[in-house]
Amino acid sequence: MDKKTFLTCLFLSLAIVVAFTFWGSPRDIREDVSVPTEIVETSLEDHSPRIALVLDDLGYSMKNMEEIKALEIPVTLAVLPNTPYSKRVCSFADQNGMEIILHMPMEPESQTSGLEVNTIMVNTPPEVIAGFLDKAIQTVPSAKGVSNHMGSKVTGDSRVMENLFPILKERKLFFFDSSTARKSVCELAAEKTMVSYSKRDIFIDHVPTEQGISDQMKKLEEIARSRGLVSAIGHDRSLTVKVLGDVVPGMVERGIRFVTVSDMLETKK
């Protein structure tokens, strides 16, 4: 081997050693990339802020159903029983992956007239409560749980709730507390009967203006980022659904994950 050939071989050998020292083999490079990718994906999945969005008072029309579907997020619809469209709303929801709960009418503190059919009152006997609930479920057959429509008086009454919750337990229904009472006894009744329970954290349309609803959605996102999981109630109103259509896509892009009430309850277990 002449001197020129020897020097060329020596140079190539040194170059290979230097390359492997600084950059490693191709296999090492692939493994270094794959591990962080898996960790990042799992982290985002575990820590995404979640919102359970409930829309109340469905059953008197179908006018907002297509717009709710167009939101393309999991949503829970609280359907009033014995209404003209209660079964049709359930059918539409079933076909489009929406969750249904029974929005059971219950006695409020201040209103005594104009209440829904078969409203549960503080003086309703236990056997009548069971009958009201069964008739309601027949018109809202997809219901996975129950929430209170109005009910500020009833949900603060231990006797009524202690009669209602064993019925929910028997029918395998969870309870979502609309939190209309100053002092609800529903959580304690749920604990005693081992019924799955959650409650509303925030209303999004108690100020029924576009600005008011938008402001509440911003607040809702802030709470979700702070606490990780939050539940909100809106209503079956055209303005509410319009504002949701405007703001929800941006929330999803920013990493907010919408879930059903059932999903929220599973997360809390």
The tens-digit pLDDT sequence of the chain (269 residues) is 554 444 444 444 544 433 433 333 332 222 222 222 222 233 334 589 999 999 999 999 999 999 999 999 999 999 999 999 999 999 999 999 999 999 999 999 988 899 999 999 999 999 999 999 999 999 999 999 999 999 999 999 999 999 999 999 999 999 999 999 999 999 999 999 999 999 999 999 999 999 999 999 999 999 999 999 999 999 999 999 999 999 999 999 999 999 999 999 998 87
One DSSP character per residue, 170-193 reads: HTT-EEEE---STT--HHHHHHHH
Token readout for 120 is: 């549960």
Residues with Cβ within 8 Å of 215's Cβ and at least 6 positions away in sequence, in order, are: 207
**Cα(269)–Cα(177) distance, integer angstroms:** 17
Same domain membership, residue 130 and residue 72: yes
User: What burial class does residue 147 get, using C-beta atoms within 10 Å of its C-beta: 0-12 exposed, 13-18 middle, 19+ buried?
Assistant: buried
Same domain membership, residue 119 and residue 37: no
Inter-axis angle of helices 158-170 and 186-193, nearest 10:
40
User: Alpha carbon of 141 to those of 62, 68, 90, 228, 263: distances in Å?
Assistant: 17, 20, 7, 32, 20
Same domain membership, residue 235 and residue 126: yes
Q: The domain that contains 159 carries what CATH number?
A: 3.20.20.370
SS3 state at 109 = coil
Number of alpha helices (DSSP H) and beta strands (DSSP E) in the chain: 10, 9
Same domain membership, residue 264 and residue 152: yes
Query: Whole-prediction pTM value?
Result: 0.82
Same domain membership, residue 101 and residue 120: yes
> In the prediction, which pLDDT does 205 show?
98
Same domain membership, residue 129 and residue 23: no
> In the prediction, which pLDDT does 112 show?
85
One DSSP character per residue, 192-255 reads: HHT--EEE--EES-SS-SHHHHHHHHHHHHHHHHHHSEEEEEEES-HHHHHHHHHHHHHHHHTT
Same domain membership, residue 184 and residue 153: yes
Residue found under tokens 């008072």: 57
> In the prediction, which pLDDT does 46 show?
52
Q: How many domains does the chain have?
A: 2
Same domain membership, residue 116 and residue 96: yes
Same domain membership, residue 237 and residue 199: yes
**Cα(89)–Cα(85) distance, integer angstroms:** 6
Q: What are the beta bridge partners of residue 102?
A: 79, 146
Same domain membership, residue 256 and residue 188: yes
Same domain membership, residue 42 and residue 134: no
Residue 20's domain comprises 3-46
> In the prediction, which pLDDT does 7 show?
44
SS3 state at 123 = coil
Same domain membership, residue 125 and residue 93: yes
SS3 state at 135 = helix
**Cα(258)–Cα(72) distance, integer angstroms:** 10
Residues with Cβ within 8 Å of 185's Cβ and at least 6 positions away in sequence, in order, are: 155, 156, 157, 158, 161
